Structure 1
Amino acid sequence: MELRTCNACGKTSTESALTWSLERDVRSPGVEWWSCDECARANVRSIEAKLDPQFWSKPLS
């Protein structure tokens, strides 16, 4: 399994992370932004609005 790291909080997972979110930047091919379930939940509005991750709020935990 591939090790995934949340770009927002640093949480890692080697399991099949079905609840994690993957954001691919169309302006920078090959750049991927992983978000754990907690950070994805905290930033769902920003993700849906397609805001750059640098403008997302910090995780709630």
Structure 2
Amino acid sequence: MTSVPCGDSAQQPDPADVVCARCGTTAQGPPLTWTCSVEAGVRRYFCAACAREHIRAIEGRLDSEWW
């Protein structure tokens, strides 16, 4: 029987995984349908559903904290 170390990679997201900054959905690599925004020097990704729901705010360049 083998023991599983505390920092098991199965419990931590893969560095290539992208997480939606709004709803927490994860995807492997940035999908083409997702939106990327740089806010205060931080890159944030939004899934297609969140981007579609808040498209007017995104086009108006409002930070995600406002929507």
Is TM (by shorter chain) over 0.5?
Answer: yes
Structure with the larger RCO, 1 or 2 (CA within 8 Å, 6+ apart): 1
TM range (shorter): 0.7 to 0.9
Q: Return structure 1 stretches of 4+ with deviation > 3 angstroms.
A: none
For structure 2, which runs of at least 5 residues remain unmatched after alignment?
Answer: 1-14
TM-score (norm 1): 0.78
For structure 1, which runs of at least 5 residues remain unmatched after alignment?
Answer: 57-61
Computing the radius of gyration over CA atoms, which structure comes out larger, 1 or 2? 2
**How many residues are paired up?**
53
Q: Sequence identity, in percent?
A: 34
> What's the RMSD between the two structures over aligned residues?
1.5
TM-score (norm 2): 0.71
